[in-house]
């Protein structure tokens, strides 16, 4: 066999044993007549020793070893005279009796160490080398453990793992599909699933009762730190449940995972907040609740003072940063520049410092006297030493989103977004529809199968924008970890939903005919949700991006630079598929 022990398991209890190790050369150091080599595998690092006085030929062979060469050694475990307490094997070393070079290596393009000298681009190009580094490998091990524990938990709750198809029908509502041409059906296309939504509902009609799947999903959309074109969901569905049943079981699952990975016990139930309150207080449906600075609306207090900016605005909102009245003009100017960035889009920023002597200093002192600013401070519940930051605009939703970005930036500057602190919240009572002004029509905020709140069904015809969805998201630290809904299971209500979304009967049958027909055969009440496995792992690993918990991720342009994908295909392949490429 190539090895009798791994490079991470030997200690003083193995002293005197003859062992065989195999792995990669991490470092090679010659000191006088001795050569010390660190050998690494997935499990750790072990120091091996060659003595020129004992075996000169073997020592000369060891001196030729380069970084990342693959070797096999046999030797005796001995206690180290100079111990390394930073690694588990640091009290022992192997006195080598035999050395076999299994494979030589070119010098790698970056150092295979925890703190590598390789930038993102080069590490993505040589991802198979990057994975040899402890931080990346540890993330993949964490991902494995979380996925395994999810399966164990759901199995204990009588969930059945069922695989659903990857080649499905395109339903263009929502994000863009990745489409796949069919050679055997010329001119027709499969789509890669954005989620297994219809199939898991069909499994409920089929009587599976409790389904789950750790499943690949695909969306052809613009990328950012928490998005990839292909991603992994913990996808779940349950029959004969209401919202409370779903929230309770999956809250227990998340608590179980955090206890298993981090040893964290959450006290009591996760808080619940309506979508309306989230937007009003945080400007986001995935609020970061590790810190305060909730929004305060000020329009009524700003009128009548002849300040043109506030007078012309429909909406004025602010936050209060505790203890920040000491911010310098340079710091406030930097915040102003921050909110004026194109991706945020605010036109400016008003500040009010609540000085320690009880007076106010503001960028709008010319218009608002001390008495007026004191009313603002009272609304904010501010104290001496605090800093009030205020934005305004014509569109309340847009201004809230801008303020959300400023709030998060202040939280970052003040060290309030601690990665070791976790603040979950269930966001509930989403609107069922969202109005798209450009198209003068409603879209489903989640998807067409989301059930309206029973008490709001009466408004479907008269006031669709008022109808709340029986939907829920779990947000944590400003990240949406997952979400779902109770589904429509009544054919008449489902047809009504399609009608309100502008589907003709023919279009609805064309896109969703299978599930429409299935509902005719005794569909049970059902609901479910899906968690983003990539996001969950990255949060537990303390990462800023999901890329480092995915073995082979895409870059921000959706490319895999390691295998150079996507790429052009041979003309013969296109001909077989009855396709012709036209650019521009």
Q: Does residue 553 belong to any structural domain of this protein?
A: no
For residues 156 and 133, what is the distance between their CA atoms, to the nearest angstrom?
A: 35
CA distance 176 to 179: 9
Beta strands in 43-188 (DSSP E): 44-51, 70-79, 92-103, 160-161, 179-181
Please report, for the domain that includes residue 341, its CATH number: 3.30.1360.30
518, part of any domain: no
> Cα separations (Å) of 232 from 217, 235, 295, 539, 553?
6, 9, 34, 15, 12
- Note whether residue 577 is domain-resident: no
Q: Could you please report the per-residue DSSP string of 353-372?
A: EE-TTS-EEETTTTT--HHH
Identify the CATH number of the domain in which residue 25 sits: 2.40.50.140
For the chain, which residues score pLDDT lower than 70? 172-174, 225
Question: How many other β-carbons are positioned within 10 Å of the β-carbon of residue 537?
Answer: 25
For 308, the token pair is: 């043109």
Q: Which of 65, 80, 103 is the last residue of a domain?
A: 103
Q: Which domain, by its residues, includes 95?
A: 12-103
Specify whether the CB–CB gap between 38 and 66 falls below 8 A: no
Closest CA to 288 of 419, 425, 478, 536: 478
Boundary (domain end) residue, out of 84, 103, 122:
103
Q: Has residue 281 been placed in a domain? A: no
* Residue pair 169/269 in contact by the 8 Å Cβ criterion: no
| Domain final position from 103, 134, 157 | 103
The tally of domains found in the chain comes to 2
Q: By the 8 A CB rule, do 88 and 133 touch?
A: no
Instruction: Tell me the two tokens of residue 350.
Output: 């008003």
User: Do the beta carbons of residue 523 and residue 98 sit within 8 Å?
Assistant: no
- Find the Cα–Cα–Cα–Cα dihedral 368, 372, 374, 378, rounded to 10°: -130
Tell me, what's the pLDDT at 352?
97
Q: Kindly state whether residue 133 falls inside one of the protein's structural domains.
A: no
Q: Let me know if residue 219 belongs to a domain.
A: no
Contact between 131 and 96 (Cβ < 8 Å)? no
Reduce the DSSP state of residue 139 to 3 states and report it. Answer: helix
- Domain assignment present for residue 331? The answer is yes
Distance of CA 14 to the CA centre of its chain: 43
Q: Does some domain include residue 438?
A: no
pLDDT score for 438: 80
């Amino acid at each position: 066999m190539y090895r009798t022990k791994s490079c991470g398991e030997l200690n003083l209890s193995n002293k005197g044993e003859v062992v065989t190790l195999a792995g990669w050369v991490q470092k090679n150091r010659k000191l006088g007549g001795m050569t010390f080599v660190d050998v690494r595998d997935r499990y750790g690092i072990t120091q091996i020793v060659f003595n020129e006085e004992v075996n000169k030929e073997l020592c000369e062979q060891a001196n030729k070893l380069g970084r990342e060469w693959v070797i096999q050694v046999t030797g005796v475990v001995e206690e180290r005279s100079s111990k390394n307490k930073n690694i588990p094997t640091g009290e022992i070393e192997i006195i080598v009796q035999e050395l076999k070079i299994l494979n030589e290596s070119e010098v790698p393009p970056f150092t295979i160490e925890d703190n590598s000298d390789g930038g993102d681009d080069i590490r993505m190009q040589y991802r198979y080398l990057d994975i040899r580094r402890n931080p990346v490998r540890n993330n993949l091990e964490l991902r494995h453990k979380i996925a395994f524990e999810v399966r164990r938990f759901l199995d204990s709750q009588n969930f059945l793992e069922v695989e659903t198809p990857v080649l499905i029908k395109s339903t263009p509502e929502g994000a863009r599909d990745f489409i796949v041409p069919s050679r055997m059906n010329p001119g027709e296309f499969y789509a890669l699933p954005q989620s297994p939504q219809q199939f898991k509902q069909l499994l409920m009609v089929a009587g599976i009762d409790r389904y789950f799947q750790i499943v690949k999903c695909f969306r052809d959309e613009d990328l950012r730190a928490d998005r990839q074109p292909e991603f992994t969901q913990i996808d779940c569905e349950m029959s004969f449940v209401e919202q409370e049943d779903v929230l309770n079981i999956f809250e227990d699952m998340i608590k179980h995972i955090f206890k298993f990975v981090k040893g964290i016990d959450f006290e009591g139930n996760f808080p619940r907040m309506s979508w309306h309150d989230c937007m009003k207080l945080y400007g986001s449906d995935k609020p970061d609740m590790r810190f305060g600075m909730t929004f305060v609306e000020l329009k009524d207090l700003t009128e009548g003072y002849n300040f043109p900016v506030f007078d012309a605005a429909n909406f004025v909102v602010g936050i209060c940063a505790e203890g920040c009245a000491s911010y310098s003009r340079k710091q406030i100017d930097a915040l102003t520049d921050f909110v004026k960035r194109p991706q945020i889009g605010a036109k400016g920023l008003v500040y009010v410092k609540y000085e320690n002597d009880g007076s106010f200093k503001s960028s709008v002192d010319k218009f608002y006297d001390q008495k007026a600013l004191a009313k603002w401070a009272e609304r904010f519940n501010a104290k001496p030493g605090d800093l009030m930051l205020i934005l305004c605009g014509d569109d309340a939703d847009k201004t809230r989103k801008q303020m959300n970005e400023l709030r998060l930036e202040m939280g970052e500057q003040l060290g309030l977004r601690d990665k070791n602190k976790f603040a979950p919240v269930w966001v509930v009572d989403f609107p069922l529809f969202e109005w798209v002004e450009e198209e003068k029509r409603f879209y489903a905020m989640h998807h067409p199968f989301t059930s309206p709140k029973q008490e709001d069904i009466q408004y479907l015809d008269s006031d669709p924008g008022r109808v709340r969805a029986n939907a829920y998201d779990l947000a944590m630290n400003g990240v949406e970890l997952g979400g779902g809904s109770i589904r429509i299971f009544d054919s008449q209500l489902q047809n009504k939903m399609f009608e309100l979304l502008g589907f003709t009967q023919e279009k609805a049958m064309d896109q969703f005919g299978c599930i429409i027909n299935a509902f005719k055969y005794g569909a049970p009440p059902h609901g479910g949700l899906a968690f983003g496995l990539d996001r969950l792992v990255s949060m537990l690993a303390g990462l800023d991006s999901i890329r480092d918990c995915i073995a082979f991720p895409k870059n921000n342009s959706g490319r895999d630079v390691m295998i150079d994908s996507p790429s052009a295909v041979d003309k013969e392949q296109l001909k077989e598929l009855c396709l012709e490429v036209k650019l521009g």
